[in-house]
Amino acid sequence: MSLWRLEILRMVRTHRWTILAGLYVFFGVLGPVGARYLNELVSNFAGDITIIVPDPRPVDGIAQFLSNVTQLGVLAVVVVGASALAVDARSEIAAFLRTRVPRSHDLLLPRYTVVAATSMLALVLGTGVAWVLTLPLLGELAVGPMLLGTLLGALYLAFAVAVVAVAGAWLGGLLPTVLASLLVLLALPVLGVVPQVQPWLPSHLVLAVVGLLEGEEPSAFLRAGAVTLVVTPALLVLAGRLLGRREL
């Protein structure tokens, strides 16, 4: 029983993977269906008022999926991540591990990797479902932008889990870790109101797939991708240091 297997078992036996996968798949179904029938829904509920909704395009299926899943998906990732990465949340279990694991990074790395990988797979799964349903309901989507955009979205989730790792190592408790992580992840897009800052923010990657499908150049996400690639490992190093310094 290695620390890696421990984390895989945590994900499987506590059914946390089903929360993540279920949520992304649920919105993966809802997105294209919602986009396809939005016109009918609005006209039925509008009564006497005439609302003109443009005909849905294939990209709307994915856009609808992402707009639904962005906040709830990140919330689920944060909660699931915190339950693994707030190592000291239960001091008795933490004492068992911390007196046997020589370096804090050894403890942190499997937890981070398993949570991040599961989150990324859930996003890929949800996007895949949305893509498959978009095809008959709304039409074809370009393969290249879809793959690249999904990859960039997954990269953002890796960053989000690293934020949770830092919050968990710093604050220890489950609830403080969730709240602090959400604060950071929700506050980050606010910085994007400054046009010069926005292309550098990891949160710029969340809707990259939509941007790419609508014709934006991949280079538009290069800076955000580079920042995320640099910041994520840096956050993990910081989390390891904070955890190592933390007294139980």
Q: In whole angstroms, what is the distance from residue 63 CA to residue 40 CA?
A: 18
Pick the binder of other proteins from 178, 180, 205, 208 (CB under 8 A). Answer: 178
Instruction: Write the CB contacts of 2 (distance below 8 Å, at least 6 apart in sequence).
Output: 110
Contacts of 201 (CB under 8 A, 6+ apart): 188, 189, 191, 192, 224, 227
Give the whole-angstrom CA distance, residue 227 versus residue 114. Answer: 22
Positions 17 through 36 that interact with other proteins (CB under 8 A): 19, 23
Least separation in angstroms between CB 41 and other proteins: 6
Select from 53, 91, 190, 222 the one that contacts other proteins (CB under 8 A): 91
DSSP letter at 207? T
Closer CB to other proteins, residue 174 or residue 238? 174
**Considering CB under 8 A, how many residues would be counted as binding other proteins?**
40
> Which whole-number Å values give the CA distances from 136 to 25, 167, 198, in the listed order?
17, 43, 35
Judged by CB under 8 A, the residue of 45, 54, 215, 217 near other proteins is 45
Task: Choose the stretch contacting other proteins; rule: CB under 8 A; options: 68-76, 194-202, 214-222, 227-235.
Answer: 68-76
Neighbouring residues of 55: CB distance < 8 A, sequence distance ≥ 6: 39
51 is an interface residue for other proteins by CB under 8 A: no
The reply to whether 1 sits near other proteins by the rule CB under 8 A is: yes
Give the residues lining the site for other proteins (CB under 8 A): 1-3, 6, 9-10, 13-14, 16, 19, 23, 37, 40-41, 44-45, 47, 72, 75-76, 79-80, 83, 90-93, 95-102, 174-175, 178, 247-248
